[in-house]
Amino acid sequence: MFVLYWGSGYSNTPLVLLLLLLLLLLLLLMLMVVVVLLLMVVVVVVVVVVVVLLLLLVLLVLLLLVIVVVVLLLLLVLLLMMLQPPAQNLTEMQKQQQQQQQQQQQQQQQQQQQRHERALLAVQKQQQQQQQQQQQNHHRHPNASSAAAALHQQHQQQQQQQQQQQQLQQQQQSFRLPTLPVSAIEACRRAVGTAQYFVAAAPQLVGELQQLWQQQMGACIATIGLSSQQQQQQQQQQQLQQQQLQQQQQQAEEADGEEAAAHNTQQGKGLQQQQQHRLQQQQQQQQQQRLQQQQQQQQSNRSYTSSSSSSSSILLGYSSLVPAAAAAAAATVAAAAAACSSSNSSRCNKQQLQQLQQQQQQRAAGREHYAAMYLQQQQQIQKQQQQQTLQHHLLLLQQQQQHDHQQLQQQQQQQQQQQQQRLFE
């Protein structure tokens, strides 16, 4: 077509120009479409990246919560395992106590038999001596009245027999073994075994409680040290920012001075006043942020110190009560065992055994109550620490966002000022 128009000899320059313009417009439209598509792709990619990062943060928070819950469960299981006495140790202690009691009973029986034999020998010796004396008297006075002597001998023999019978009865009564019920003996053994176990486990419990207290104090000290380090870092960053702002102000003032010399004095003064007003506003905002940070850090330090002092007081109270309770249990059980085994003729009363069992149950309930209180306060302290750490991190993120936003605003303001200066030029 172009060739035909060109060969025809007519003036076809406006048509060619129109066609060229149309082609250029089409190319521009294509370029605009491509640019829009690229921008859409970039926006989609950025949105996807942001969503992925948010999901990762949520997963990390969930993992931290799961780890904390698992650690708390492990601590509870360990404390329960420590508080419950192992069955093997109790059975071994009961066996040893039974063997010791059997040995003691055998020794007592042997001693009683020896005493009984000695008493019989002494009685036999006395009888022999009396018979010898009677025979000697009979030989000395053979011509005396035989009837009176015979009556006297019979009377003496009857008295001796009565005395022997009384002595034998007294010995049998004195050397009788105590007839105790089986339930009372088993209760005494169990009480002694539990008391010995608690006495043996008390130092371990106290040591573990001291270790936990030391760990908590170390964690509190570490958190306080971290907070102080963060304060120092923030102060250093603020100082660097102030220096950068001062340098920018100086550079801006120098540039404004040079431009003011070239341009009108009124426009230069107006720009300087605007810059000074903006700088004053920025400095006031920074001072307010510093005051807020200092107040928040003071509150966190106070909460840390209060939680550490409360946990230390609980630990000290529990550690002071455990050995006292164990010593009291050991003393009461030892007194009961001594009362049960000291005298051969005494019997253990059921009331005393019931009282001992009630006292032990009360002490066990008291120990469980103190342990539950300690666990609850530990959980509360850990929750408070976690909340404080999360709040601290959130505050830091907010401060960083504010700082980034301020920097962006400053950059935009600087760019606007530069554009205005260029327009004035």
How far apart are the C-alpha atoms of 356 and 331, rounded to whole Å? 11
- Output the six-digit token pair for 31: 């370029």
Confidence label for 249 from pLDDT (cuts 50, 70 and 90): confident
- Over 146-210, what HEC string results? HHHHHHHHHHHHHHHHHHHHHHHHHHHHHCCCCCCCHHHHHHHHHHHHHHHHHHHHHHHHHHHHH
Instruction: Name, of 30-39, 98-107, 203-212, 365-374, the range with top average pLDDT.
Output: 30-39
Instruction: Name, of 56-60, 93-97, 307-311, 384-388, the range with top average pLDDT.
Output: 56-60
What integer pLDDT is reported at residue 270 of this predicted model? 63
Confidence label for 258 from pLDDT (cuts 50, 70 and 90): low
| 177 touches 344 (CB < 8 A) | yes
**Cβ–Cβ contacts within 10 Å for residue 80, how many?**
12
Sign of the CA dihedral running 146, 151, 157, 160: negative
| 273 touches 281 (CB < 8 A) | no
240 — phi, psi (to 5°)?
-60, -40
How far apart are the C-alpha atoms of 91 and 189, rounded to whole Å? 11
- Output the six-digit token pair for 204: 């371990």
Q: Pick the residue with more confidence: 324 or 254?
A: 254
CB neighbour burial string for 218-240, b if at least 16 within 10 angstroms, e if fewer: eebeebbeebeeeeeebeeeeee
Task: Give per-residue pLDDT as tens, 261-318.
Answer: 665 556 556 666 776 777 777 777 777 777 777 776 666 656 555 554 554 555 455 4
What integer pLDDT is reported at residue 99 of this predicted model? 84
- What is the average per-residue pLDDT within 157-185? 64
How far apart are the C-alpha atoms of 413 and 421, rounded to whole Å? 12
- Using left for φ > 0, alpha for ψ between -120 and 50, and beta otherwise, residue 145 falls in beta
**Residue 274: how many CA atoms within 13 Å on its side-chain side?**
14
3-state secondary structure of 144: coil
- Output the six-digit token pair for 333: 């059980």
| 330 touches 196 (CB < 8 A) | yes
How far apart are the C-alpha atoms of 425 and 259, rounded to whole Å? 9
Amino acid at 268: G
Q: Pick the residue with more confidence: 34 or 173?
A: 34
Share of the chain above pLDDT 70, in %: 63
Confidence label for 346 from pLDDT (cuts 50, 70 and 90): very low
| 189 touches 97 (CB < 8 A) | yes
Nearest Cα to 300, choosing from 223, 222, 219?
A: 223
How far apart are the C-alpha atoms of 62 and 55, rounded to whole Å? 11
Q: Pick the residue with more confidence: 102 or 356?
A: 102
205 — phi, psi (to 5°)?
-60, -45
How far apart are the C-alpha atoms of 102 and 369, rounded to whole Å? 38
What integer pLDDT is reported at residue 182 of this predicted model? 59
Amino acid at 189: R
CB neighbour burial string for 37-51, b if at least 16 within 10 angstroms, e if fewer: eeeeeeeeeeeeeee
Q: How far apart are the first and last CA of the chain?
A: 52
What integer pLDDT is reported at residue 394 of this predicted model? 78
- Output the six-digit token pair for 164: 């022997």
Task: Give per-residue pLDDT as tens, 141-153.
Answer: 444 456 566 666 7
How far apart are the C-alpha atoms of 53 and 46, rounded to whole Å? 11
Name every residue whose Cβ is closer than 8 Å to that of residue 197 and which is 6 or more positions away in sequence: 85, 89, 90, 93
Interior CA angle at 388 toward 383 and 394, to 5°? Answer: 125
H-helix or E-strand spanning residue 343: none
Q: Exposed, middle or buried by CB within 10 Å (0-12, 13-18, 19+), for 188?
A: buried
Residue 73 in this model has a pLDDT that exceeds 50: yes
**Cβ–Cβ contacts within 10 Å for residue 186, how many?**
13
| 184 touches 348 (CB < 8 A) | yes
How far apart are the C-alpha atoms of 246 and 250, rounded to whole Å? 6
How far apart are the C-alpha atoms of 388 and 296, rounded to whole Å? 10
Q: What is the DSSP string of 21-32?
A: HHHHHHHHHHHH
